[in-house]
Structure 1
Amino acid sequence: MHRILLIDDDEQLGPPLATYFQRYELKLVQALRPSEGLALLEGPGQGGFDAAILDVMLPEMDGFELCRSIRRTSDIPLIMLTARGEVMDRVVGLELGADDYLPKPFEPRELVARLQTVLRRMKPAGPGDAQEAQGVLEFEGLRIDPARRSVQCLGREVELTGTEFDLLHLLAQSAGRVLSRDDILNQLRGHEAELYTRAVDIVVSRLRKKLEPLDAIKTLRNAGYTLALRRLPT
């Protein structure tokens, strides 16, 4: 059973949500304060949690600072709860490394769907997934191992969030082709959701910084993105 950490100071939110999550074999633990949540995440294996849900409006520090703190030491999947209509909240959260966002108020089933999507991204490929993983992808200066969900850039290991890895893997599988923002969003989300094309731009920007000095991802104006590296023969 996946363990999910909810960091939200609304004491009325956690208990009914935890009951609902049990239907989907998800165990929800709530922390009412960021300091409590960070303490729970400390230790090997992210404190035993598989994903975390962060509210933006929190005591001690807001959800953005909390997201930044978590990302300093962990690549655990993060979903941020934002005020409805606050597009800037979503932009900032994604820029700081969140994997997804959901406006408040939300339907519990949609939150579960978002969680299931990010958890699938983080699941290592098993023996039966070899065909899907398609083995190691090697380019000039870049090595992507789908089975281990690991990336090496110019010989160094690069730590990526689940969303960053999936976007890079998607581009690598389509090397030489241009993928539009909508194509990328549809394949990454795994379910119908509001399209938010700026989200793709933000994740690509994060990826470019992590892959520096390699100039791996090219933008084609009004078209989309492509991985601009030469594939090495296998």
Structure 2
Amino acid sequence: MRLLLVEDDNHVAAALCAVLGKHGFDVDHARSGAEALHALLPDGGEPHRVILLDLGLPDQDGFELCGRIRRRSTIPVIMVTARADVRSRIHGLNLGADDYIVKPYDTGELLARIHAVSRRTDPVNEPVGAGVAQLIRLGQITVDLATRRVSVAGDPVTLTRKEFDLLALLAQRPGVVFRREQIISRVWSTNWEGTGRTLEVHMASLRAKLRLPALIETVRGVGYRLVAPRD
């Protein structure tokens, strides 16, 4: 698996690259935001599966870089940083990071998180269960899992990556209640409780864009479900 490590400290990077290499990862090292963005350009080789992003970079703030990466790519981003405060965690996740791990960390935990986001950060691309089609029609709503496009009454609706993942997850099982922790685990690939507020923000945005407030029902104290609309 090919990774992109964005870390300006060469000693830290060298140690981490050695550990990751022993576990079978092919690591590209970027020392700045500019190098990281350049590394995202197609080079004909295996695409990066995960980006490990340090926040303290010499040319730009890691939060800014995360936002720029997310506008260009859907590659999972794990923020690896010494910033342990809750505000920084929430800000990073809201910008599009898929996970957030604080230095110093256990190497085993980092490896587990890398594997988790590479498997699960895009849940709608996993093999779907029996009876779940790639094109889902629910009343006026069409959700195309293959092209990641959504339309309401024939009009396209532009969603962020996480908003689409939320809708796709619920749409594949209309009427089924998904617990909050299930949704957070599937869409954000983390069990961190602080992501709950992020879920609420994304759900509110999704409802507003679809302009069908009754489509996604909040099951108080449990989670959410999609109520299949009538034509």
* TM value normalised by structure 2: 0.77
Is the alpha carbon distance of 1:100 and 1:5 closer, same or farther for their aligned partners in structure 2, counting shifts above 3 Å?
Answer: same
Structure 2 SS opposite 1:134: coil
2:80 is matched with 81
1:18 is matched with 17
- Percent identity, please: 34
Mapped to 1, the partners of 2:73 and 2:104 lie a distance apart of 28
1:53 is matched with 52
Is the alpha carbon distance of 1:19 and 1:41 closer, same or farther for their aligned partners in structure 2, counting shifts above 3 Å?
Answer: same
Out of 133, 136, 147, the residue aligned to residue 135 of structure 1 is 133
Contact 1:78 1:100 in 2 (8 A): yes
Aligned residue identity for 1:167: L
In structure 2, stretches of 5+ residues that fail to align are none
Mapped to 1, the partners of 2:205 and 2:84 lie a distance apart of 24
Residues 1:108 and 2:107 are matched in the alignment: yes
Contact 1:50 1:119 in 2 (8 A): yes
1:28 is matched with 27
1:151 is matched with 149
How far apart are residue 141 of structure 1 and its match? 3.9
- RMSD over aligned Cα, in angstroms? 3.4
Mapped to 1, the partners of 2:114 and 2:71 lie a distance apart of 21
1:176 is matched with 175
Aligned residue identity for 1:182: E
How far apart are residue 159 of structure 1 and its match? 6.0
Aligned residue identity for 2:193: L
Is the alpha carbon distance of 1:213 and 1:157 closer, same or farther for their aligned partners in structure 2, counting shifts above 3 Å?
Answer: closer
Mapped to 1, the partners of 2:222 and 2:70 lie a distance apart of 31
* TM value normalised by structure 1: 0.76
Is the alpha carbon distance of 1:205 and 1:111 closer, same or farther for their aligned partners in structure 2, counting shifts above 3 Å?
Answer: farther
Mapped to 1, the partners of 2:188 and 2:11 lie a distance apart of 29
Is the alpha carbon distance of 1:83 and 1:208 closer, same or farther for their aligned partners in structure 2, counting shifts above 3 Å?
Answer: farther
Mapped to 2, the partners of 1:229 and 1:18 lie a distance apart of 48
With 36-45 and 2-11 compared, the bigger mean Cα shift is at 36-45
How far apart are residue 88 of structure 1 and its match? 0.9
Is the alpha carbon distance of 1:176 and 1:69 closer, same or farther for their aligned partners in structure 2, counting shifts above 3 Å?
Answer: same
Mapped to 1, the partners of 2:25 and 2:230 lie a distance apart of 40
How far apart are residue 12 of structure 1 and its match? 1.7
1:72 is matched with 71
Aligned residue identity for 2:149: V
Mapped to 2, the partners of 1:158 and 1:24 lie a distance apart of 39
Aligned pair count?
225
Aligned residue identity for 2:223: G
